[in-house]
Amino acid sequence: MNQIDAARSGKYTEEMEIVAFMENVGIEFIREGVAKGTIVIPKNRVRDRANICGIGKGLDIKVNALFGTSSDREQMPMEARKLKIAEEAGCHSFMDLSTGGDIDGMRKQSLSLATVAMGGVPIYQAGVEAIEKKGNLMQMTSDDIFETIEKQAADGLDFMAIHCALNFDIIHTLQRTGRVTDVVSRGGSFLTGWMLQNQKENPLYEEFDRLLKIMKAYDVVLSIGDAIRPGSTADSLDEAQIKGLMVAGELTKRALAQGVQVMIEGPGHVPLNHVKSTIELQKRLCHNVPYFILGFLATDIAPGYDNITGAIGGAYAGLHGADFLCYLTPAEHLGLPNEEDVRTGVISTRIAARAVNIARKRDHALKSEYYMSKARVENNIQAQIDNAIYPEKLQDSLINIADHENNHDDEAMQVVAKYFGIA
Amino acid sequence: MTILESARKGLITDEMRQVAIIEEVTPEFIRAGVALGEIVILKNNAHKNVIPVAVGKGLTTKVSASVGMYHSKDTIAGEIEKVVTAKLAGADTIMDLSVTGDIDSMRKSALITTSKPIGTLPLYQAMAEAKKNKGSSLEMSVDDLFHVIERHASDGIDFLALHCGTTMEVVKRAKGEGRLDPLVSYGGARLMGWMIHHNQENPLYENFDRLLEIANKYDVVLSFADAMRPGCTQDSLIGSQIQEYIILGDLITRARDAGVQVMVKGPGHVPINQIETTVNIQKSLCKGAPYFVFGPLVTDTAVGYDHISAAIGGAISAYAGADFLCYVTPAEHIGLPNKEQVHEGVIAARIAAHAADLANGIDKAVRWDLEMSLARKDLDWEKQIELSIDPETARRTWTERSDDFSSECTMCGKYCAMKIVSEFLNKKKVG
């Protein structure tokens, strides 16, 4: 039985038990969240793996990493290394965004290596194969798309980004209102081009029930792709984006009615003064299902440091209710990330997530804060390393920490330390 | 006449005109802000080559970088290299926080190296000299402290960090209330030690008028340091922190009446759900004085990455109303930053400052984002790099991850969304 069907019939699944244990909440809380759609548990029924996690209201905010080949870079061994690095650095899930080389082979390699939830974007493969086998993207058929989705679901992907919330009404709005950066979603751009050229409605929107059947058969979480997300802070909260959210909301309702778990993908580029509104709108229009955001990037002007702009936007978004952060690496807007970029991206996003979990008063986050501060006061270096978000970085700095604390030979310092009972 | 005295008399000074051009506001806007105390202009009247910088309401958020000799092995040349690095990375001001070595020469070298305003924390030197000359930091006399303050001011230091609000009453509260980490501030902790040892009130508080005379004479901005800032997220918004602000609020009125500009330093470590409250409390208790925050760090556990933790806190603070961000480098809590870490710290703080300026609708900031996005849409790489906050790093990252420097990047390769959509939506080719 699907997670959502089980939840609605009052049953606890093994996955709910694991999530409740990991999050230190009652299993009934998890069951209720899954039944209502405020919590999703990405777990394809054909894939067994070590780590199960829940995403949504009342839980820790989670971190997703991306990797995959591109048409310019198709080195499978390098992608395998990135996957390992991202897991070591502490991500909760991955998405394989491969568009180059042996895409099926890449996915199978990733699924065999990953111990966490894994997602994909099937339209990439459908589009790339149409270009390679039929000569151009416009020859892609509706069947091509759905067959790719079914193939990837059968391979075991736990969640899928699918750009179903895009239709002609939205594209016409976009054409009418104009934007600084029109469509920055790769899947969204494939579909926009295909729709305009063929003058046909988006098959993922038009044949949404066909999509739901596949999702349901494998218990894949539908992640409604944000085809129309703002790609610059200037485009944030424009008409096209809101229309996209409204369509996503309608589809969410249908998915929930069919017993399909669903979450919504979000921007992108959002100035800090739009963060709260963006999240409130998503929650309201999309029936409180989890919000999976890409960033947010708090500014457009920091290429080379988008892990930092993403950490700023992600933390602030989490404070206002975002549930799931897709990482950004320092290579964003400049190229495909290398291994070191992946590590930096995961850690930066985890810092944002930790800040959110502290604000949400999550037990384990508050405990880490407490133990770290206590270790600092007591000058306990090992405890500082143990409680650090990425301890590997600190092993080399052991001597430096000790050195930093050598000011205790100061008399005024000794007096005050004694006064406060620290000496 | 000091800048504040002029502003209060309705006079627009050269400094006001200079900063108005940089900030793209009218000189009258600056004058009115200075008169109210919501804007301060950093410019010591003895600092000849300085380009004044304004900090406060309605202006872009500023970034300060700290350097200084801490270990016996640290050299003036090494620290001056960091000053230059920070300046090139775009810091608006520099603080020399030297606690050892030839502090006078260090300060003078910093003053001639850059035209940026410079701040110091005179207590460090006063205690270092007491230790050297009299055998113990506790032997520092009140006169010793004020002589060092006057020396810094007459050398041309533009803002002085001083723990004026850390009174005995505050110290007692801190002891009683059970802070996890009561000794956060390097200078504040030592000052408390001195007060406890001598059983004497804080000399900066007790002799506040003497301090105001010096500050007025050189038109130095007082930067009230907060010994009671939270040093871990758990101590945020604790009583002693608030009490110190209440006392500082009283001192601010006295300073303004004496024609002295004031800003207030802030945390430190603040969970993100308490940032807005922290800023509002400071603004309210400290009567609208510019808020100069140290980070704040939003988690204690990001050791090795505290510049990122601080960028999160800095952006949210500045969006909520903080005016000035003291950078935090990746070396924070581990050691002292090297040149590369100084660079990273300045850039991270500038990203935070800009994100807040953008959200606060500062024209310059909005325009910058727009220009970058237009360059992105056109796949104009030279323009994108030129507009980057750190063009050198952007170019290096792009170059290292590119194969053929085609119009699109290796992220999406030939399946570039910008390219595909421009072709179909606008029927025009880009790149």
Establish if B97 belongs to a structural domain. Answer: yes
The minimal CB distance from B425 to the residues A175, A186, A387 is found for A175
What residues of chain A lie within 8 A of the CB of B355, using their CB? 271-272, 298-299, 309, 312-313
Clarify whether residues B248 and B288 are in a common domain. Answer: yes
Q: B residues 185-214 near A, CB within 8 Å?
A: 186, 189-194, 196-197
Q: B194–A410: do the CB atoms touch at under 8 Å?
A: no
Identify the pLDDT of residue B120.
98
* A294–B contact, CB cutoff 8 A: no
Q: B347–A388: do the CB atoms touch at under 8 Å?
A: no
If you ran DSSP here, which 8-state letter would residue A297 be given? B
Cα separation of B40 and B280, whole Å?
Answer: 19
The minimal CB distance from B335 to the residues A316, A373, A404 is found for A404
Mutation site for A-interface testing, chosen from B191, B196, B367, B373 by largest number of A Cβ within 10 Å: B373
Q: A70–B334: do the CB atoms touch at under 8 Å?
A: no
Q: A387–B420: do the CB atoms touch at under 8 Å?
A: no
B253 to chain A, minimum CA–CA distance in Å? 30
Q: One digit per residue, pLDDT tens: chain B, 431 residues? A: 999 999 999 999 999 999 999 999 999 999 999 999 999 999 999 999 999 999 999 999 999 999 999 998 999 999 999 999 999 999 999 999 999 999 999 999 999 999 999 999 999 999 999 999 999 999 999 999 999 999 999 999 999 999 999 999 999 999 999 899 999 999 999 999 999 999 999 999 999 999 999 999 999 999 999 999 999 999 999 999 999 999 999 999 999 999 999 999 999 999 999 999 999 999 999 999 999 999 999 999 999 999 999 999 999 999 999 999 999 999 998 888 999 999 999 999 999 999 999 999 999 999 999 999 999 999 999 999 999 999 999 999 998 887 666 667 776 777 777 777 777 776 544 44
Q: A residues 193-212 near B, CB within 8 Å?
A: 193, 196-197
Instruction: Please give the torsion angle defined by the CA atoms of residues A359, A362, A363 and A365, in that order, rounded to the nearest 10 degrees.
Output: -60
CA atoms within 13 A on the CB side of B171: 25
Nearest Cα residue in chain B from A320: B273
* B410–A contact, CB cutoff 8 A: yes
Sketch out chain A's domains with CATH numbers. Answer: 1-36 (no CATH), 45-51+58-360 (3.20.20.540), 364-419 (no CATH)
Cα separation of B164 and B222, whole Å?
Answer: 10
pLDDT in tens, A302-358: 999 999 999 999 999 999 999 999 999 999 999 889 999 999 999 999 999 999 999
Which residue has tokens 């604390």?
Answer: A405
SS (H, E, C) A324-368: EEECCCCCCCCCCCCHHHHHHHHHHHHHHHHHHHHHCCCHHHHHH
Nearest Cα residue in chain B from A68: B411
* B168–A contact, CB cutoff 8 A: no
* A232–B contact, CB cutoff 8 A: yes
Clarify whether residues B283 and B399 are in a common domain. Answer: no
Q: At what angle do helices A272-285 and A306-319 cross, to 10 degrees?
A: 50
Clarify whether residues B183 and B315 are in a common domain. Answer: yes
What residues of chain A lie within 8 A of the CB of B191, using their CB? 412
Task: Please check the confidence at residue A72 and state whether its pLDDT lies above 90.
Answer: no
Identify the pLDDT of residue B405.
63
Establish if B44 belongs to a structural domain. Answer: no
Clarify whether residues B351 and B382 are in a common domain. Answer: no
CATH number for the domain that contains residue B145: 3.20.20.540
What residues of chain A lie within 8 A of the CB of B197, using their CB? 411-412, 415
Q: A residues 96-125 near B, CB within 8 Å?
A: 99-100, 124
Query: What Å distances lie between residue A217 and A224, A259, A401, B326, CA to CA?
Result: 18, 10, 54, 54
In 3D, which of A144, A143, A150, A142 has the Cα closest to residue A130? A144
* B407–A contact, CB cutoff 8 A: no
In 3D, which of A331, A349, A338, A326 has the Cα closest to residue A121? A326
Q: B390–A183: do the CB atoms touch at under 8 Å?
A: no
**In sequence order, what are the residues at sequence separation of 6 or more whose Cβ sits closer than 8 angstroms to the Cβ of residue A232?**
A180, A181, A269, A300, B369, B370, B372, B373, B376
The minimal CB distance from B403 to the residues A72, A185, A309 is found for A72
Q: A416–B183: do the CB atoms touch at under 8 Å?
A: yes
The minimal CB distance from A358 to the residues B299, B368, B385 is found for B299
Greatest C-alpha distance within chain A: 81
Q: B315–A351: do the CB atoms touch at under 8 Å?
A: no
Which residue has tokens 């003058």?
Answer: A199
In 3D, which of B112, B207, B200 has the Cα closest to residue B162? B207
Q: How far apart are the first and last CA of chain B?
A: 58
> Which residue type does B42 have?
L
Q: A252 has which bridge partners? A: none
Cα separation of B74 and B335, whole Å?
Answer: 12
What residues of chain B lie within 8 A of the CB of A337, using their CB? 401
**In sequence order, what are the residues at sequence separation of 6 or more whose Cβ sits closer than 8 angstroms to the Cβ of residue B28?**
B12
Task: Please check the confidence at residue A405 and state whether its pLDDT lies above 60.
Answer: no
A82 to chain B, minimum CA–CA distance in Å? 15
A156 and A216 Cβ atoms separated by less than 8 Å: no
* B388–A contact, CB cutoff 8 A: yes
Clarify whether residues B87 and B165 are in a common domain. Answer: yes
Q: How many residue contacts between A and B have a Cβ separation below 8 Å?
A: 358
Cα separation of A25 and A27, whole Å?
Answer: 6
Q: B138–A73: do the CB atoms touch at under 8 Å?
A: no
A253 and B340 Cβ atoms separated by less than 8 Å: no
* A304–B contact, CB cutoff 8 A: yes
**In sequence order, what are the residues at sequence separation of 6 or more whose Cβ sits closer than 8 angstroms to the Cβ of residue A161?**
A95, A119, A120, A121, A187, A223, A224, A225, A265
**In sequence order, what are the residues at sequence separation of 6 or more whose Cβ sits closer than 8 angstroms to the Cβ of residue B273?**
A319, A359
Cα separation of B387 and B85, whole Å?
Answer: 20
Clarify whether residues B251 and B377 are in a common domain. Answer: no
Burial of residue B409 (CB within 10 Å: 0-12, 13-18, 19+) is buried
Burial of residue B227 (CB within 10 Å: 0-12, 13-18, 19+) is buried
* A372–B contact, CB cutoff 8 A: yes
A412 to chain B, minimum CA–CA distance in Å? 4
Q: A residues 49-68 near B, CB within 8 Å?
A: none
Q: Are strands B159-162 and A324-326 parallel, antiparallel or unpaired?
A: unpaired
Q: B388–A303: do the CB atoms touch at under 8 Å?
A: yes
Q: A180–B374: do the CB atoms touch at under 8 Å?
A: yes
What residues of chain A lie within 8 A of the CB of B322, using their CB? none
Q: Which two tokens stand for residue B127?
A: 């205690």
Q: Tell which of B309, B328, B361 closes a domain.
A: B361
If you ran DSSP here, which 8-state letter would residue A49 be given? -
Q: Tell which of B361, B386, B403 closes a domain.
A: B361
* A138–B contact, CB cutoff 8 A: no
Identify the pLDDT of residue B429.
45
Which letter, b or e, does each residue of B265-285 get, where b requires 16 or more Cβ atoms within 10 Å of its Cβ?
Answer: bbbbbbbbbbbbebbebbbeb
Clarify whether residues B281 and B372 are in a common domain. Answer: no
In 3D, which of A141, A257, A120 has the Cα closest to residue A207? A141
The minimal CB distance from A304 to the residues B369, B393, B421 is found for B393
Establish if B52 belongs to a structural domain. Answer: no
If you ran DSSP here, which 8-state letter would residue A269 be given? B
Which residue has tokens 């500045």?
Answer: B318
Average pLDDT over residues A372-383: 91
Clarify whether residues B146 and B240 are in a common domain. Answer: yes
Establish if B54 belongs to a structural domain. Answer: no
* B318–A contact, CB cutoff 8 A: no
Which residue has tokens 């494998």?
Answer: A218
Nearest Cα residue in chain A from B181: A377
SS (H, E, C) chain B: CCHHHHHHCCCCCHHHHHHHHHHCCCHHHHHHHHHHCCEEEECCCCCCCCCCEEEECCCCCEEEEEECCCCCCCCHHHHHHHHHHHHHHCCCEEEECCCCCCHHHHHHHHHHHCCCCEEECHHHHHHHHHHHHHCCHHHCCHHHHHHHHHHHHHHCCCEEEECCCCCHHHHHHHHHCCCCCCCCCHHHHHHHHHHHHHCCCCHHHHCHHHHHHHHHHHCCEEEECCCCCCCCHHHCCCHHHHHHHHHHHHHHHHHHHCCCCEEEEECCECCHHHHHHHHHHHHHHCCCCCEEEECCECCCCCCCCHHHHHHHHHHHHHHHCCCEEECCCCCCCCCCCCHHHHHHHHHHHHHHHHHHHHHCCCHHHHHHHHHHHHHHHCCCHHHHHHHCCCHHHHHHHHHHCCCCCCCCCCCCHHHCHHHHHHHHHCCCCCC
B292 to chain A, minimum CA–CA distance in Å? 19
Establish if B277 belongs to a structural domain. Answer: yes
* A307–B contact, CB cutoff 8 A: yes
Number of domains in chain B: 2
Q: B390–A410: do the CB atoms touch at under 8 Å?
A: no
User: For residue B309, how many other CB atoms are within 10 A of its CB?
Assistant: 30
**In sequence order, what are the residues at sequence separation of 6 or more whose Cβ sits closer than 8 angstroms to the Cβ of residue A423?**
A414, A417
Establish if B399 belongs to a structural domain. Answer: yes
Clarify whether residues B98 and B204 are in a common domain. Answer: yes
B137 and B177 Cβ atoms separated by less than 8 Å: no
Cα separation of B316 and B270, whole Å?
Answer: 11
Clarify whether residues B267 and B416 are in a common domain. Answer: no
Establish if B55 belongs to a structural domain. Answer: no
User: For residue B49, how many other CB atoms are within 10 A of its CB?
Assistant: 9
B125 to chain A, minimum CA–CA distance in Å? 13
* A319–B contact, CB cutoff 8 A: yes
The minimal CB distance from A308 to the residues B71, B311, B414 is found for B311
* B401–A contact, CB cutoff 8 A: yes
Q: B415–A271: do the CB atoms touch at under 8 Å?
A: no
Establish if B48 belongs to a structural domain. Answer: no
A376 and B303 Cβ atoms separated by less than 8 Å: no
In 3D, which of B61, B123, B118, B70 has the Cα closest to residue B95? B118
Q: A376–B333: do the CB atoms touch at under 8 Å?
A: yes
Cα separation of A200 and A168, whole Å?
Answer: 9
Confidence of residue A409 (pLDDT cuts 50, 70, 90): confident
CA dihedral sign of residues A147, A153, A157, A162:
positive
Cα separation of B403 and A84, whole Å?
Answer: 25
A255 to chain B, minimum CA–CA distance in Å? 28
Clarify whether residues B336 and B380 are in a common domain. Answer: no
Q: Tell which of B361, B393, B413 closes a domain.
A: B361
In 3D, which of B23, B5, B18 has the Cα closest to residue B62? B23
Q: B residues 238-297 near A, CB within 8 Å?
A: 271-273
Structural domain of B399: 364-425
Q: Are strands B62-67 and B324-326 parallel, antiparallel or unpaired?
A: parallel
Cα separation of A315 and A296, whole Å?
Answer: 9
Clarify whether residues B173 and B257 are in a common domain. Answer: yes
